[in-house]
Structure 1
Amino acid sequence: MHSTFVIGDVQGCYDQLVELIRLIDAVDHQARLLFAGDLVNRGPKSLQTLRLIKNLGSRADSVLGNHDLHLLALANQVRPSHRSDTLDELLAANDCKELLDWLRHRPLAIDVDQHLLVHAGVFVNWTKSQTLALALEVETQLRGEHYLHLLSSMYGNTPKLWHDQLQGADRLRCIINGLTRMRFCHADGSMDFDVKEGAENAPQNLTPWFDLAQRATQDCTVVFGHWSTLGLIQRDNLISLDTGCVWGGQLTAVRLEDRLVLQVNSPQHQSPF
């Protein structure tokens, strides 16, 4: 039985990913590799990163992060580029369409034994099974022939609070924002999109999504990235994996079976401020 490693936000840091996979292979050369999303952007080698992960075939999979969705929107002329984007080489590549088609078919949540892998977070009242079902609603649209409609309607900060009665674009947008953008929440479980600092610097009226009382996913271990100012966190039912590789931190992998941590240091490719 081979082990499973989950790797934090790569964001185009190809050289560090190659080195991290080398370290993983030294431990278990057939280990399953799962990625916490944000495979691309802001780092220097998004094209090479996407090619590498795609070419790993059935050995690897990734949930979608907000930067991955931004790439899909940018490539389909749904959104303009940002000043901090580093996606031009990828968008001009001969195999861009093939790579983006592969990316478009990635999940937003992955069930791994007693673990739930998402990019950013889950709403307080979502169970593991509900999270997977709601992710599938978005995945079905994104993989379908009308995916451009989803890409063009997924942007926006509302609704900030999940209700089972949400429908249409509001429902899908809320699911996407929860799974790919969530950090802090208010006491009622609604998302805040303004504060991005670490948990210790949070305003008193905000709580990290994973610390909300009665969180319905406390019966499994939620594994996520996205929040580089948190750094590596390991609790009984929580693993935070974004250690700021693109900001000059580390690229981190955690083996789910025993919480073995492997890390590769990275030069600073961009400033977060």
Structure 2
Amino acid sequence: MIDHVSRVPFAFGDLQGCHAPLRRLLDTLPRAPESPLWFAGDLINRGPDSLATLREVVGFGARARAVLGNHDLHLLAVHAGIRKMKDSDTIADILAAPDAPALLEWLRNRPFAHHENGMLMVHAGVLPQWDLTLALELADELQRALRAADWKNTLAELYGNEPRRWSPDLKRKDRMRVAFNAFTRIRFCTADGTMEFAANGSPASAPANHLPWFDAPERRTRDVTIVFGHWAALGLMLRENLIALDSGCVWGNRLSAVRLSPDPRERTVVQVECRECAGAGRGD
């Protein structure tokens, strides 16, 4: 019989192709083969073993709950001919792999948000004007569009910095672009939710009149525990209703996993060093 404890998920920060640290971390976790494994996006790119990392996560089958990050979407965009590969990319091995079609199809079918047991996992963040219902509706709209037959056209339209602020009056293309950027790129915004995309330093380096998205004073998802990655300079951060997981593995720091107990006092952290990935991290 599967007990309740064995079903508590473990959530992982950005892997970014760092396969060896992932294996070490998995070996370090308490033996609970039924526990769901949550991945906060950016499974691949910049680290040395993107193909092995993606295959590992896909191999978990239904245990894996992974949301799309900006690097995952970049891989899909390169595959679709929408974006060019960068010098710092480590995704060529995926594109050239014999199982590339299956891997890319699996990735394209990942969601932008995962909500379960009062916790919402996204890659980067949510805008302060969104409540949980709206966030899930917008994530579902993006997910359905990316799974449609014309997904390449849709993905091409999602790239761009404007508009930077949410409004319920936005037309479909602009609405989806705002949601796309919030779920996969946001770090800082103004109090009214206007996003800023250039800064990627620590919260102390916030541009004038900006603050971390999760500290926006009127954020409407404060009653939901949000699990996210994307922000290596922020690092591992645990608050009662906030779990930041990107502890900079691809920069040679650490890979983190957090046991997502409903009781914040029972959330445990497991980390491993990522020395073999030092120097891999460049850019977003």
TM surpasses 0.5: yes
Structure 1 position 11 matched with structure 2 position 16: yes
The DSSP-based 3-state class of the residue aligned with 2:11 is: strand
Aligned identity (percent) is 46
1:167 deviation in Å? Answer: 1.6
Structure 1 position 80 matched with structure 2 position 76: no
Structure 1 residue identity aligned to 2:273: N
The equivalent residue for 2:166 is 162
- 166-175 or 115-124: which moved more? 166-175
1:164 deviation in Å? Answer: 1.4
Structure 1 position 213 matched with structure 2 position 221: no
Mapping of residues 46-125 of structure 1, within 5 Å: 46-125=50-129
Q: Which of 186, 189, 192 is residue 188 of structure 1 equivalent to?
A: 192
The equivalent residue for 2:232 is 228
In structure 2, the gaps of 5 or more residues are none
1:187 deviation in Å? Answer: 2.5
Mapping of residues 133-172 of structure 1, within 5 Å: 133-172=137-176
1:147 deviation in Å? Answer: 0.3
The DSSP-based 3-state class of the residue aligned with 1:43 is: coil
Cα-to-partner distance string for 1:88-137 (whole Å, 9 max, x where unaligned) = 11110000111000000000000021111000010001111211111000
Paired with 2:75 and 2:168, the residues of 1 have a C-alpha distance of: 29
Structure 1 residue identity aligned to 2:170: L
Q: CA RMSD in A?
A: 1.1
- Does the 8 A contact of 2:24 with 2:272 survive in 1? yes
The equivalent residue for 1:260 is 268
Structure 1 position 270 matched with structure 2 position 275: no
Paired with 1:169 and 1:204, the residues of 2 have a C-alpha distance of: 29
Paired with 2:77 and 2:63, the residues of 1 have a C-alpha distance of: 27
Structure 1 position 30 matched with structure 2 position 34: yes
- Does the 8 A contact of 1:42 with 1:269 survive in 2? no
1:30 deviation in Å? Answer: 2.0
- Does the 8 A contact of 2:47 with 2:281 survive in 1? no
Paired with 2:168 and 2:98, the residues of 1 have a C-alpha distance of: 42
Over 3 Å counting, the alpha-carbon distance change for 1:36 and 1:200 in structure 2 is same
Structure 2 residue identity aligned to 1:168: R
Q: Which of 167, 174, 181 is residue 177 of structure 1 equivalent to?
A: 181
Q: Which of 25, 42, 60 is residue 20 of structure 1 equivalent to?
A: 25
1:48 deviation in Å? Answer: 0.6
Structure 1 residue identity aligned to 2:132: K
Q: Which of 129, 132, 135 is residue 131 of structure 1 equivalent to?
A: 135
How many residues align? The count is: 272
Cα-to-partner distance string for 1:230-268 (whole Å, 9 max, x where unaligned) = 001111111100000000111100011121101111020
1:151 deviation in Å? Answer: 1.5
